Structure 1
Amino acid sequence: MGDSQADAAGQWKIGIGPGIMVAPTFPGSSSVKAYPLPAQDISWNNRVFSQGPDVLGINVLRGKDYHVGSSISLDFQSRTSSDDPRLHGLPNVHCGPKLRLFADYTWWAFTGSAAMYQDIGGTGQGRTVTTDLVASVPVGRLLLSIGPGFTWADAQYTRTFFGITAVQSAASHLPQYQTGSGIRDVHMNVDATYDFSRRWSSALALTAGRLERYAAASPITESRFELTAVAAVSYRF
């Protein structure tokens, strides 16, 4: 009985701490907004997990070098007319949950990943697909990962955040703008994790991106450059 309980306990990995995310106030904004958030990293048997914005997920397939699965993820992308005077007359876009389908594979120091995000909260944010390739290098207690990626967005997403209908144009005095599906952005990821001890660690994730196509040319867009940063400190039980 004691051994089985120890084995069951050993299948759990639990890390909890405070975190903060800094992101554009709205897609295409030249200003940023800070969001406090929990920095949880909880998993059971490398199968069920809760990590960062992924509230609850499952690795349907998993191995030493790969994962394939799904999760319910929170997305903070939103927009309100109070964010910027230029947005008056445009509809608000609320944040909400998304279904995330993902796959990743690691070979030596390189990890390739792809994730599809589907709006399931009725916020009009449609579907996006993000692909990334990073190289990871351990330096003592520091693990540094860096690499490029891009995001594709469907027509519903670009219409919600970057399109302007005739009615919206009359209300906002911005020109009409029609959008479609295509590359939303290209970006570079830089992630750093440092272990202070066996229990305490810190993490910093930076994503610097450049809006493309419909997102770049929209009258709503103030800046093509996007910077998102997440910092956290966690304690492992």
Structure 2
Amino acid sequence: MRLRHVAAARLGEGFAARLTAGLAVVLALTAHAHGAQAADNIETSAPVDTSATPQPASKWKIALGPGVVVTPLYPGARELRVFPYPALDISYDERVFSQGPDVLGLNVLRADDYHVGAALSFDFQSRHEKDDPHLHGLGDVDGGPKLKLFADYSVWMFTGSVAMYQDIAGHGQGKTVVSDLYASVPAGGWLFSAGPGFTWADALYTRTFFGVSSRQSAASGLPAYDVGAGIRDVHLNGYVSHDFSKHCVASVAMTFGRLQHYAAASPVTERRSELNMLASVNYRF
């Protein structure tokens, strides 16, 4: 499963932060002007205590809470599976982070408008023969860790992102590349993000999840099916979050996808449409 809400949330929050910062600057300048004018009309003023020094803001940002994941039982499955998930959003100096399926990540290059980095990410995609009689004879495919390389760039309310996932556990999940375009709009305590994207998969990934070898064909009764690299799916992302208070925020991230090419025509595939969702309620410390 490729949960994309993390990028949308981070980038959307960046856009909202820039907008809020701009308004704050305007208000601060206005307040300063009024304050200066008022000061000119005062002949005397009380001594100012300059002994207190402001405390620097913490570089840590920590939010955690319960979450729930909805994802296909396996790629191309007719059924969905639902399971609880600990929703983490932890970062230090906006450099090191742990967010969603990205267990540990690093923004190697970062600025207000872009991020470039790497992460150790956990992918929930798996398939087991016990999941469905349709899979008998195809063998099991386990989920596991993947190396993620990513980059994103924002212009005004729009953000483009690309991420490559490489299987590092030897589970035959190969390499996938996900490219997305988001438009993010803050409204009060709400944040809305949406946009299209697509996923490219290499031949190893496609063969593992959608191919049927001659041996598998003999064991399962499905026709043999040769595959190669290509577009795995096209999809539409949606993300909504709401700040109920300074400390409490709820969010829902959804991806509606449609399998393409080799994945769509595979005898393993029972449904071309896909739904992935993560809903969570986090407490900010």
Residue type at the aligned position of 1:192: V
Distance 2:183 2:134 in 1: 40
Share of identical aligned residues, percent?
Answer: 61
Residue type at the aligned position of 1:169: S
Q: Where does residue 171 of structure 1 map in the other structure?
A: 219
Decide which of 98, 120, 124 is 1:76's aligned counterpart. 124
TM-score, normalised with respect to structure 2: 0.81
Is 1:184 aligned to 2:232, yes or no? yes
Greater radius of gyration (CA): 2
Q: Which runs of 5+ in 2 are unaligned?
A: 1-51
Q: Where does residue 13 of structure 1 map in the other structure?
A: 61
How far 1:37 moved relative to its partner? 1.0
Decide which of 252, 258, 279 is 1:210's aligned counterpart. 258
Residue type at the aligned position of 1:70: A
How far 1:3 moved relative to its partner? 7.5
Q: Note the aligned Cα RMSD (angstroms).
A: 1.3
Residue type at the aligned position of 2:263: A
Decide which of 259, 268, 272 is 1:220's aligned counterpart. 268
Q: Where does residue 104 of structure 2 map in the other structure?
A: 56
Q: Where does residue 74 of structure 2 map in the other structure?
A: 26
Q: Which runs of 5+ in 1 are unaligned?
A: none
Q: Where does residue 177 of structure 2 map in the other structure?
A: 129
Residue type at the aligned position of 1:30: R
How far 1:35 moved relative to its partner? 2.2
TM-score, normalised with respect to structure 1: 0.97
Distance 2:231 2:179 in 1: 11
Partner of 1:214, secondary structure, is helix
Pairing 1:39-54 to 2, within 5 Å after superposition: 39-54=87-102
Is 1:101 aligned to 2:149, yes or no? yes
Q: Deviations over 1:27-71 (max 9, x none)?
A: 000100012111110000010000000000000000011000000
Distance 2:228 2:53 in 1: 58
Is 1:110 aligned to 2:158, yes or no? yes
Larger strand fraction of residues? 1
Q: Deviations over 1:142-169 (max 9, x none)?
A: 1000100000000000000000000100
Q: Deviations over 1:5-47 (max 9, x none)?
A: x54x610000010111100000000100012111110000010
- Give the 4+ runs in structure 1 shifted more than 2 A: none
Larger helix fraction of residues? 2
When structure 1 is superposed on structure 2, of 135-144 and 56-65 the one drifting more is 135-144
How far 1:138 moved relative to its partner? 1.2
